[in-house]
């Protein structure tokens, strides 16, 4: 009965429990484990950099991250996760464990996305049970597991809320409704630039479809939305500036790169390998970010909605699902291929397959309509209750993916980084340099000392980074050391563990022969010892 009195509270508790189940055992290790990929360390660096830059108060250099030194604008080499960073900042200022802050935000993105879907479908159907089923689908959809390592890609609460705002604008015709819709779209831009642009295209289509379906309310609805569009337009005008500046120097994404992250039709019958029931399909239809199967139950409920409740809204959301799925095909499909040639901002997006989350969003809405149609055919209250429980359990089993793969991440600061913190500000380079998988670790530990770092890992890298990588392959010969001097490097940090024994011996012998590389000390490092050398000019 408490669920009926405060349905949003009951829904939140259930969705939280489902998220814990989906990501188990992450909740047991919030401060010590992350998914075993470079991206969590990148995200921790992003959250920490924003907190650091805001605390410093120099907003003119907010996007000049301390990586890829001396390149400017490096915070915008990937999604800045600005909203998540604003939420994290007070906790990081209070010295809360940054790993725990990251993990809580990751899980919160999943839970709140379900809450947003609950609000949307409750309004569209007037049915709490249907809303709960839709929320469960959107919370647990396998896309979440496919992108478990991507913080910003879990923050999708603004998708259903933006759609809710579009509906309210047509229902009420008030400017206030349009402003809310615009605000939610703007918050999606600030949470994830990818999703902000993709959502803008989809809700634009939704507005057109609703205007066509409800011509008597089209003028007032579109007028309200036009006023509300001022908010995301203003946010984009300001927030896009560092990205546009980088685009001028870094250029567009390579076509082959976009093709690699464009979905195929087979992607929609391929689930992440962690999925209990459908994981076997991952091996048959492989591809990075391309396991997009939304679940048989969700598809079945959508089919039920089409058969038993073929209303205008059902057909509209079917069109939304079809549009998002088609766009997720990227350069493998005709529509995105045309847009790629004629809409220049899309040239900067590498992964059109991420449109799939909007297809999942529309499918979750259809799932709610389908469940409502089924439940109305149940003979009594007890039967309807039983149907809801059976449906929720079935969804939990189909979407089950635990245990998730995790790896430990230390918060015990190595002694070498304690020394480097005392040397701030000094330009650092950490070796081995060419191993890109180590760069996120170096970035993660740079949040402790904040010295400028020549190393870096992000969605883009400056062209000069390639030259630096090539010249450092022969370190410490003259060209490589000259390159470090050109970059203004003061300290060279050498991690013994990551070199083979013979290579390390050769390296140390060569360094000893150079009078401009002075050993500062041998310290406890990431794994084994780290030796720090001061480069004299």
Look at residue 175 and tell me if it is in a domain: yes
For position 445, what pLDDT does the model report?
97
Angle at 161 between CA 232 and CA 88, to 5 degrees: 75
Look at residue 74 and tell me if it is in a domain: no
Give the whole-angstrom CA distance, residue 527 versus residue 493.
13
Give the whole-angstrom CA distance, residue 386 versus residue 376.
13
Tokens 């249907």 locate to: 130
Give the phi and the psi of residue 494 in degrees, each rounded to 5: -115, 120
Give the whole-angstrom CA distance, residue 387 versus residue 374.
9
Specify whether 227 is located in the same domain as 358. yes
pLDDT higher than threshold 80 for residue 210: yes
Q: Give me the residues paired with residue 518 across strands.
A: 534
Average pLDDT over residues 312-321: 97
Specify whether 342 is located in the same domain as 473. no
pLDDT higher than threshold 60 for residue 480: yes
Specify whether 500 is located in the same domain as 394. no
Give the whole-angstrom CA distance, residue 366 versus residue 488.
58
Prediction pTM value: 0.95
Q: How many CB atoms lie within 10 A of CB 37?
A: 15
Q: Which helix (H) or strand (E) holds 430?
A: strand 428-431
Average pLDDT over residues 81-108: 98
Domain endpoint, select from 344, 369, 399: 399
Give the whole-angstrom CA distance, residue 447 versus residue 46.
9
pLDDT higher than threshold 60 for residue 3: no
Give the whole-angstrom CA distance, residue 324 versus residue 200.
12
Q: How many CB atoms lie within 10 A of CB 534?
A: 16
Q: Which pair of tokens denotes residue 340?
A: 């790629």
Dump pLDDT digits (tens) for 164-175.
Answer: 999 999 999 999
CA distances from residue 461 to 73, 299, 493 in whole angstroms, order as listed: 11, 40, 21
pLDDT higher than threshold 70 for residue 1: no
Domain endpoint, select from 367, 399, 431: 399
| Contact call for residues 151 and 43 (beta carbons, < 8 A) | yes
Specify whether 395 is located in the same domain as 262. yes
Specify whether 136 is located in the same domain as 233. yes
Look at residue 211 and tell me if it is in a domain: yes
Specify whether 181 is located in the same domain as 326. yes
Give the whole-angstrom CA distance, residue 23 versus residue 482.
48
User: Please, what is the average pLDDT of the chain?
Assistant: 95
Specify whether 516 is located in the same domain as 454. yes
Note the Cα 382 to chain centre separation in Å. 41
Give the whole-angstrom CA distance, residue 362 versus residue 265.
18
Give the whole-angstrom CA distance, residue 409 versus residue 310.
51
33-34 and 428-431 strand pairing:
unpaired
Look at residue 271 and tell me if it is in a domain: yes
Look at residue 38 and tell me if it is in a domain: no
Dump pLDDT digits (tens) for 43-72.
Answer: 999 999 999 999 998 889 999 999 999 999
DSSP 379: S
Specify whether 226 is located in the same domain as 116. yes
User: What's the total number of domains in the chain?
Assistant: 2
Specify whether 327 is located in the same domain as 473. no
The answer to whether the bond into 432 is cis (omega within 30° of 0) is: yes
Specify whether 134 is located in the same domain as 270. yes
Q: Which pair of tokens denotes residue 450?
A: 């904040």
Q: 7-22 and 128-140 helices cross at what angle (nearest 10)?
A: 30
pLDDT higher than threshold 80 for residue 2: no
Give the whole-angstrom CA distance, residue 32 versus residue 36.
12
Specify whether 253 is located in the same domain as 117. yes
Q: Is the dihedral of CA 345, 351, 355, 361 positive or negative?
A: negative
Choose among 318, 338, 317: nearest CA to 327: 338
Domain endpoint, select from 347, 374, 399: 399
Q: How many CB atoms lie within 10 A of CB 10?
A: 17
Dump pLDDT digits (tens) for 254-276.
Answer: 899 999 999 999 999 999 999 99
Look at residue 26 and tell me if it is in a domain: yes
Q: 193-213 and 312-328 helices cross at what angle (nearest 10)?
A: 150
Give the phi and the psi of residue 115 in degrees, each rounded to 5: -65, -45
Average pLDDT over residues 308-337: 96
**Residue range(s) defining the domain that contains residue 142:** 2-31+97-399
Look at residue 408 and tell me if it is in a domain: no
Choose among 449, 464, 417, 460: nearest CA to 75: 460
Q: Give me the residues paired with residue 389 across strands.
A: none
For position 71, what pLDDT does the model report?
96
Look at residue 260 and tell me if it is in a domain: yes
Most confident of 121-125, 379-383, 410-414, 435-439: 121-125
Specify whether 201 is located in the same domain as 314. yes
| Contact call for residues 119 and 133 (beta carbons, < 8 A) | no
């Amino acid at each position: 009965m408490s669920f009926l009195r405060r349905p949003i509270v009951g829904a939140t508790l259930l969705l939280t429990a489902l998220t814990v189940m989906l990501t188990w055992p992450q909740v047991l290790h919030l401060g010590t484990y992350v998914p075993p990929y470079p991206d969590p360390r990148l995200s921790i660096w992003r959250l920490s950099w924003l907190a650091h830059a805001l605390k410093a108060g120099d907003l003119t250099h907010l996007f000049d991250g301390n990586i890829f030194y001396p390149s400017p604008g490096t915070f915008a080499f990937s999604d800045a996760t600005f909203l998540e960073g604003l939420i994290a900042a007070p906790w990081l200022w209070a010295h809360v464990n940054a790993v725990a802050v990251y993990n809580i935000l990751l899980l919160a993105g999943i839970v709140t996305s379900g809450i947003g879907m609950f609000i949307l479908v409750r309004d569209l159907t007037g049915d709490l049970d249907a809303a709960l089923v839709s929320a469960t689908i959107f919370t647990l959809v396998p896309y979440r597991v496919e992108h478990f390592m991507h913080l910003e890609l879990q923050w999708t609460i603004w998708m259903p809320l933006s759609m809710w705002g579009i509906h309210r604008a047509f229902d009420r015709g008030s400017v206030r409704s349009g402003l809310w819709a615009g605000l939610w779209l703007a918050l999606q831009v600030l949470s994830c630039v990818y999703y902000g642009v993709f959502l803008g295209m989809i809700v634009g289509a939704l507005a057109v479809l609703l205007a066509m379906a409800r011509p008597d309310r089209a003028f007032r609805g579109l007028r309200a939305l036009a006023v509300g569009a001022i908010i995301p337009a203003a946010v984009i005008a300001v927030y896009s500036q560092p990205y546009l500046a980088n685009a001028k120097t870094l250029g567009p994404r390579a076509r082959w790169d976009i093709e690699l992250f464009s979905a195929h039709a087979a992607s929609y019958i391929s689930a992440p390998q962690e999925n209990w029931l459908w994981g076997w399909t991952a091996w048959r239809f492989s591809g990075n970010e391309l396991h997009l199967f939304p679940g048989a139950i969700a598809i079945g409920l959508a089919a039920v909605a089409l058969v038993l409740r073929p209303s205008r809204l059902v057909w509209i959301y079917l069109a939304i699902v079809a549009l998002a799925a088609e766009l997720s095909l990227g350069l493998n499909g005709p529509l995105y291929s045309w847009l790629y040639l004629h809409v220049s901002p899309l040239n900067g997006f590498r992964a059109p397959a991420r449109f799939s989350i909007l297809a999942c969003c529309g499918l979750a809405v259809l799932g709610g309509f389908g469940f409502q149609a089924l439940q109305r055919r149940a003979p009594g209250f007890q039967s309807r209750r039983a149907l809801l429980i059976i449906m929720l359990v079935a969804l939990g089993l189909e979407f089950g993916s635990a245990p998730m793969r995790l790896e430990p991440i230390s918060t015990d600061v190595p002694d070498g980084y304690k020394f480097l913190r005392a040397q701030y500000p000094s330009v650092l380079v950490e070796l081995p340099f060419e191993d890109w998988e180590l760069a996120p670790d170096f970035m993660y530990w740079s949040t402790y000392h904040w010295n400028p770092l020549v190393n870096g890992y992000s969605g883009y890298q400056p062209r000069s980074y390639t030259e630096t990588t090539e010249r450092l392959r022969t370190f410490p010969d003259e060209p490589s050391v000259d390159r470090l001097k050109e970059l203004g490097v003061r300290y060279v940090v050498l991690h013994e563990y990551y070199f083979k024994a013979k290579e390390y011996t050769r390296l140390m012998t060569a360094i000893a022969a150079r009078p401009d590389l002075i050993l500062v000390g041998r310290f406890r490092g990431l794994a084994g010892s780290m030796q720090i050398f001061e480069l004299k000019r």
